[in-house]
Structure 1
Amino acid sequence: MNGARRNPRDFWEKGRGTGAGAPRPLGGVPSGAPRAARPSRLAVPDEPRPTGPPPRVGGAVAALVVSLLTLAVPILGISLGFWFFVLVTNVPGIGFGIAALTKIPDEAAVERFLRYTWACNLAYVVLSVVFLVPVMVLALMMMMAGF
């Protein structure tokens, strides 16, 4: 790649670049002060302007939505009469997803709970497949037997 071009990830991680951040007031001088005391409009603020969204809000919402969608498996199992599907509800994934959303200002906590949520979602999908295969075999055997 061209050495002059920067990686897009650097833009979000380091907070540098020409992002469309919210405009900040350039000085603490009230508008009624004499013109000589006001800073010029071309003055550069000491602090860099924020250029990115809050830490991983979209990822946390997506993880929570996927955790809530996993409730379809226990609901389907209960509707088929298999009560033990209640035991494989993704309660930890839903709890970690909610915790990730409640920790929004703290980037480290959001990232940690986001990893926990996706790990629970992945484990839940694997566990659902393990439970689904015997149920399908049982249903096939019942159909072949004519029950």
Structure 2
Amino acid sequence: MSGQGGPKAFWEREQGSTLGSVRPPGPAGPSRPASGGPFGHRPGPRPGAGPGAGPGAGPTGPPARLGGAVAALVAALLSLVVPVLGLYLGMWFFLLVANLPGIGFGVMAVRRYPDAAEVERHLRYAWACNFAYAALSVVFFIPLMLLAVVILSV
């Protein structure tokens, strides 16, 4: 693959440089800072960022996944349908199987928004609780339906 049609040849042909060579001057002139990667990402302040937006002025990692945190919280809140339905049918003990840990971790993920590490940690816990709740609901739903069939057939 290192021949005429390989990825390295394509990259060198399209970029106009070879490995180890100096990049040609771009729109910013020859004093342009060195690129941090193949796509021209340069660490430091973003263009158009306000004063004080230097290399240490904000979070260094990727932005927190607020959309994922909201989705986990919505999924946890939707899991309340099972206990509410059980309460409506007169089976109050269904309230004991509410997904309270999933709701709690979802709320914590949304509330910890600026801190990406905390959001990610609570987001993992919320989804783990949601999936565990769904699995347990299926495990308990099947015997409950079998019991209902036996009671109705007598």
TM-score tier after normalising by the smaller chain length: 0.5 to 0.7
Q: Does 1:81 align with 2:90?
A: yes
Provide structure 2 residue ranges, at least 5 long, that are not aligned to the other structure.
1-5, 12-35
Residues 54 and 104, structure 1, Cα contact 8 Å, conserved in 2: no
**Separation (CA, whole Å) in 2 of partners of 1:127 and 1:82:** 17
Secondary structure class of the residue paired with 1:81: coil
The aligned residue for residue 118 of structure 2 is 109
Shift of 1:18: 7.9
Residues 17 and 86 (structure 1 numbering): CA distance in 2 closer, same or farther, change over 3 Å?
farther
Provide structure 1 residue ranges, at least 5 long, that are not aligned to the other structure.
5-13, 29-44
Residues 141 and 103 (structure 1 numbering): CA distance in 2 closer, same or farther, change over 3 Å?
same
Aligned runs of 1:1-147 on 2, under 5 Å?
A: 2=7, 4=11, 24=48, 54-145=63-154
Which structure has more relative contact order (CA 8 Å, sep 6+)? It is 1
Q: RMSD across aligned C-alpha pairs, in angstroms?
A: 3.4
Q: Which amino acid aligns with 2:121?
A: R
**Structure 1 runs (4+) greater than 2 angstroms displaced:** 1-4, 16-19, 25-28
Residues 81 and 111 (structure 1 numbering): CA distance in 2 closer, same or farther, change over 3 Å?
same
Residues 110 and 25 (structure 1 numbering): CA distance in 2 closer, same or farther, change over 3 Å?
closer
Per mean C-alpha deviation after superposition, the further-off stretch among 62-71 and 127-136 is 127-136
TM-score by length of structure 1 reads 0.65
**Separation (CA, whole Å) in 1 of partners of 2:50 and 2:102:** 44
**Separation (CA, whole Å) in 1 of partners of 2:94 and 2:51:** 61
Residues 74 and 86, structure 1, Cα contact 8 Å, conserved in 2: yes
**Separation (CA, whole Å) in 2 of partners of 1:123 and 1:105:** 27
Larger radius of gyration: 2
Name the one with the larger helix percent.
1
**Separation (CA, whole Å) in 1 of partners of 2:50 and 2:83:** 56
Q: Which amino acid aligns with 1:81?
A: G
